[in-house]
Structure 1
Amino acid sequence: MYPHTPTGEYRLLLYSYDGNQGNEPAHACQVLSLGSGQPPRNVGWPDAISTGIMMELDPPVLFRGNLHWFPSCDDSESKMIMVFDTISELFRQMSPPVVTDCADLFEIDGKLGMAILDLETTIDIWMLQDYQKEVWIFNCRVELPVAEIRVQCNNYDGRLNFHVLVVPGDGELLLLVKFTDWLLQV
């Protein structure tokens, strides 16, 4: 859901899959204007985006009038940030700071940020310095206390599998790390 600034409406960006149409599955994105009583409008399917990504995306980040997503940790195809311009209702792609398998986008203090999780020990925080030129700068690295987490969560064997959510607040970042049935604050 996003505000459409020119009209003052709130709109929904919907993803639909209509089974197989001939040899190709029919994927589409539609926009629904809330309260209008009109059916959703088809805004097409971006050619550069693989058909499986929309099903695997985390909720978008609304930044500079655009919705931004990064493919989930399980997606092995595209490693580009997907951007939906809420005014023109067109898709495009944006380069991430580094090619990665698992990341989370966030907005803080008027900047777009990305937390990149090394699936074992660290979280790198990158900030978008120049939106037009897609220039990212490294902000900081958070070392996860893996040994302490294993002890606290009674997990001594196997690989750690974290899910990280970055929550901005009062100019600081709060990292929420979900591990098995635990939610840890960093």
Structure 2
Amino acid sequence: MLKATPTALPEVLVLEPRVFGDDRGFFMESWNEAAFHQATGTQVRFVQDNHSRSAQGVLRGLHYQIRNPQGKLVRVTSGRVFDVAVDMRRSSPNLGRWAGVELSAENKKQLWVPAGFAHGFVVLSDHADFLYKTTEYYAPEHERALAWNDPDVAIDWPLATLAGEPILSGKDAAAPRWSQAEFFD
């Protein structure tokens, strides 16, 4: 019922739920604990659901919680985004590598971003509604950010389709570079 495909980072998975559609619309399970476990081999407990709406060109991230790290299951219900995960685990052979995938209301793909990764996205459509489930509660005192355009990480954001630079929050505009980032053990 649920297809899981590894990205360039093997722990970060693209999930494709089975979609049943006809001329009336569609039906899909956006979350099923047993199907997730069977497809990923991972047991998770989600404690919080979040929903953000952003305009075209808004870039949110790259965010992570250094304590109480969050695993995130993310999806888009309206519009489309380019979604990115960066490995922040010092013990990982993939430290500093990134994976990106387009998520949209049309393709109905989801991304599983385990704890230990920074996460962010840029909106490619006029707007996007972005939903995500987290395995830990938001803890602002433990939140960290990584500069979206850090040359050491070199994310290939699809910005050519946007007019100008991405729109950032003050926090994201001031995010530390890779050389100043905090890492997971």
- Answer yes or no: same fold by TM over 0.5: no
* Greater relative contact order (CA < 8 Å, ≥ 6 in sequence): 2
Taking structure 2 as the reference length, what is the TM-score of the superposition?
A: 0.31
Pair member with larger Rg: 1
Name the one with the larger strand percent: 1
Taking structure 1 as the reference length, what is the TM-score of the superposition?
A: 0.31
